[in-house]
Amino acid sequence: MIESKRLLPGLLGALAVIGFVGCASGDDGSAQQDGTLTGDGVSPACPHDPPPPPPGGGGAKGYSGRASALSVYVSLNHPSTTTWDGIVVVGDTKPVGAGGGSLTKSLLTVEAGPLLQAAVFNGLVKAGGGKTHSAASTANASVLASVKSGLLHDVLGADGRGGDISINLREILESLGITDAALDGLFNGGPLQGGIQADVLEETADAWCAGGKALAAADGTIARLVIGGSPINITLGANVKVLSIPGLVEVTLNEQVVTGGGGSISVDASALHVNLLDGIIDVRVSRAQAGVTCGDGGGGGGGGGGGGCGTK
């Protein structure tokens, strides 16, 4: 599973301008708060509790999990970017520790430039007792909705550096064929004009131990989906592709990627995955990740009970 090594301080200071209103706890980006928040008259789907431990469940030696409103990955292969991992995350519980625990994140407003605007985000991770549960719910989401033309110029500025990036990122992107002209074909009169709108984008991911084996599952919920101004009829299963134009864009709903097996497993799931230009720009909304390593290590760091939606 892809995890951010750190929040990119600049690039995507640019690609993700983070602004939010909320958490009653005086959230500084690391403080956590359980509960459902309401913004703009919307009450988002509450991340539901993990499934009960399966019969014959076992202990776990280690856990992993994370939930985020938005993650962006830009794939570059250039000497000037060797110190950059290419990932930025917005609205983030942070990764749970290997010993387990419970993390939550609630935002009344998510603002990430042209990439994501949303009314509410709720995220949680609970790990302990041989299982990890992660859930991410984003309400009233607009993805890539404000893009008309000149995306790279809008995001990275006239100097291509996004204000405080030490390299001319736009120049590197253009050398790889990522130009405003190429992107304009998607957003200006193209299939993504007006972006992607959804009332609710929710994803859950679970990993647990049963009889010494590691198992994983994920599930997604999407309420009202509009792409490029056209309503999409949703029959939601796993990895449902609703738009695919080779080399330009692919949109997948309820994407689920499971890695590992035997005694160790992880699942990386996203309610909405937008892949631009063959994965050079990768956008995921309502992303939930869960993993577990099984063995005789016992239940781990406790977080398996309590802390559910609507409690403090």
By mean pLDDT, which of 31-35, 198-202, 271-275 is the weakest? 31-35
As given in the structure block, the two tokens for residue 253 are 């709903």
Most confident of 4-8, 94-98, 184-188: 94-98
Examine the pLDDT at 58 and tell me if it is beyond 80. Answer: no
Q: What is the pLDDT of residue 36?
A: 24
Q: Quote the pTM value.
A: 0.72
Instruction: Please report the pLDDT score of residue 235 as a whole number.
Output: 80
Select the more confidently predicted residue: 194 or 49: 194
pLDDT, tens digit (0-9, with 9 covering 90-100), for 268-297: 999 999 998 787 788 999 999 999 999 864
Percent of the chain surpassing pLDDT 70: 61
Of 28-32, 56-60, 145-149, 210-214, give the range with the top mean pLDDT: 210-214
What does the mean pLDDT of the chain come to? Answer: 73
